[in-house]
Chain A
Amino acid sequence: MEEPKSSAPSSRSESETDEKGDGAGAAIILFFILGLAASLLVGWIAFPALLYSEKRQPVDFNHALHNEIVDHGCASCHFFREDGSFSGAPKLAQCIECHREANSDDPEEIRFVEEYVKPGREVPWLVYARQPDCVFFSHAAHVRMGGIDCAVCHGPIGESTSLKPYQVNRITGYSRDIWGWNIAGIKRNTWDRMKMDDCAECHAQARVPGGSVQTQKDGCFVCHK
Chain B
Amino acid sequence: MDQPKNKRYGMVIDLDKCTGCGACMVACMAENNIPFRDDDTDKLLSVSWMHVYRLSNGKPFPHAEECFLPRPCQHCEGEHGHSPCVSVCPATATDYDMHTGIVSQIYTRCFGCRYCMAACPYHVRQFNWWDPVWPEGMERALNPDVSVRMRGVVEKCSFCYSRYQTALNRAYLEGRRELSEEEYQTACTQACPAGAIVFGDLNNPAHRVHQIVKPDLAHGGRPRNPKVFRLLERLGTHPKVYYLTRRDWVRRAGDNEIQKT
Contact = CB atoms under 8 A, between A and B. Distances in A.
Q: CB–CB under 8 A between A and B in the complex?
A: yes
Interface of A: 80, 83-85, 132-134, 136, 138, 140-141, 144-145, 206-209, 211-215, 219-222, 224-225
Interface of B: 1, 3, 6, 80-82, 86, 89, 92, 95-100, 102, 104, 106-109, 145-148, 158, 161-162, 165-166, 168-175, 177
A225 B159 CA distance: 12
28 contacts: A84-B171, A84-B173, A84-B174, A140-B172, A141-B172, A144-B172, A145-B172, A145-B175, A206-B1, A208-B3, A211-B97, A212-B96, A213-B81, A213-B86, A213-B95, A213-B96, A213-B97, A214-B89, A214-B95, A219-B100, A220-B97, A220-B104, A221-B104, A224-B104, A224-B147, A225-B146, A225-B161, A225-B162
User: Interface of chain B, helix or strand or loop or mixed?
Assistant: loop
Contacts of B172: 84, 138, 140-141, 144-145
B95 A219 contact: yes
Contacts of A225: 145-147, 161-162, 165
Contacts of A206: 1
Contact of B169 (A83, A208, A214, A215): A83
A215 B147 contact: no
A220 B95 contact: yes
Contacts of A224: 104, 106, 108, 147
A213 B98 contact: yes
Contacts of B95: 212-215, 219-221
Specify the main secondary structure of chain A where it touches its partner. Answer: loop
B146 A211 contact: no
Given A215-B92, A219-B100, 19 more contacts: A84-B174, A134-B106, A134-B108, A138-B169, A144-B175, A145-B172, A145-B175, A209-B3, A209-B99, A211-B98, A212-B98, A213-B86, A214-B86, A219-B104, A220-B109, A221-B100, A221-B158, A225-B145, A225-B147
